[in-house]
Amino acid sequence: MSHVVYLYGFAPPAAELPDEGLAGVADAAVELHGCDGFAAAFSQLPAAEYGAERVEARTGDLAWVGEQGLAHERVVAWFVDHAEIVPAPLFTLYSSVDAMAAEAAGRAEAIRQRLERFAGRREWDLKVSYDADEVRAHAAELDPDVQRVDQEIAAATPGRRFLLERRRAELLKGAAGAAARREAQALLDTVGGVAEAIKVLPIPEGGAEVPVVLHAAALVAVGAEDQLMSTIQAARGRLGPRGIRVDASGPWAPYRFVGESDG
């Protein structure tokens, strides 16, 4: 049976696999191939199922692609937790181990630089969304303009109170989104004091139960992750009861930061 080589990424030269082995795409064993100053993590897969033409023909099958993506990420996540890895994109395929090694040798310096750049650093994903009704219910706690109007209403005569209440209603129309975006930016500024780098990402279109106002990736040193989580937990405790949701996931391999300087 002929095989193709599936690359997961590049690890430090001293990286080792677990004694019990590590299963990757198609449950194939993950192997390491020593290169010039790093190791390639890969599996050998049957060409009949994972040859380039066969894979291209199946990319429209989202269930199948998702299954391969989970297997790919399982391997990458193991290295994130136990070593380091500069991840390769999904479906990075070669005709042989020699072909993979030759291609890696041609960009060995860039790979070594990436491994050094991301040593001891991991990626975290951050999203901020909001429930408009909940935010409006707490608008006075989140929006200084609404708070001032509420103070004026409390001290106003009946006639003036009517006008102020109309003004408050107008303020509330855009208050929820504005408050959520303001709080999201404040959180991003705080996270920026912990992270080594941040990338603000496009906000996903559709599919979300509530509007998303921030989607970002943060590159964080392992030693600073506790501080990051404390920052996230504090934001959740303050904003969650007011209708603003803060979600963080990770740690991940630094997918969104790989290749920034070397292309």
Tell me, letter by letter, the H, E, C secondary structure of 47-70. Answer: HHHHCHHHHHHHCCCHHHHHHHHH
Q: What is the DSSP pairing of strand 3-11 with strand 86-94?
A: antiparallel
Give the lowest-confidence range in 32-41, 83-92, 138-147.
Answer: 138-147
Helices (H) and strands (E) in the chain, counts: 10, 8
Average pLDDT over residues 234-246: 93
Predicted local confidence at residue 62, as pLDDT: 93
pLDDT for residue 1 is more than 80: no
pLDDT for residue 150 is more than 90: no
Alpha-carbon span 226 to 110, nearest angstrom: 30
Q: Using a pLDDT cut of 90, give the percent of the chain over it.
A: 68
Predicted local confidence at residue 166, as pLDDT: 73
Kindly list the distances between the CA atom of residue 144 and the CA atoms of 38, 61, 80, 151, 175, in Å, as whole numbers in the listed order.
55, 50, 43, 11, 10
pLDDT for residue 175 is more than 90: no
Using alpha carbons, select from 61, 67, 83, 78 the residue that is nearest to residue 23: 78
Using alpha carbons, select from 44, 41, 29, 91 the residue that is nearest to residue 65: 91
Alpha-carbon span 24 to 42, nearest angstrom: 8
Strands (E), the chain: 3-11, 31-34, 39-46, 86-94, 121-130, 197-200, 212-221, 244-252
pTM of the predicted protein model: 0.80
pLDDT for residue 113 is more than 80: yes
The two three-digit tokens of residue 255, written as one number: 């997918």
Q: Using a pLDDT cut of 70, give the percent of the chain over it.
A: 90
Using alpha carbons, select from 96, 98, 107, 94 the residue that is nearest to residue 38: 107
The most confident of the ranges 52-56, 166-170, 184-188 is 184-188
Q: Which of the two residues, 164 and 98, has the higher pLDDT score? A: 98
pLDDT for residue 262 is more than 50: no
pLDDT for residue 148 is more than 80: no
Nearest 5°: the CA angle 79, 35, 253 is 25
Over residues 176-221, the pLDDT tens digits come to 888 888 899 999 999 999 999 999 999 877 655 678 999 999 999 9
Average pLDDT over residues 101-110: 94
Residues in the chain: 263
Predicted local confidence at residue 165, as pLDDT: 67
Average pLDDT over residues 144-153: 72
Residue pair 41/32 in contact (Cβ under 8 Å)? The answer is: yes
DSSP state of 192: H
Predicted local confidence at residue 263, as pLDDT: 36
pLDDT for residue 261 is more than 50: no
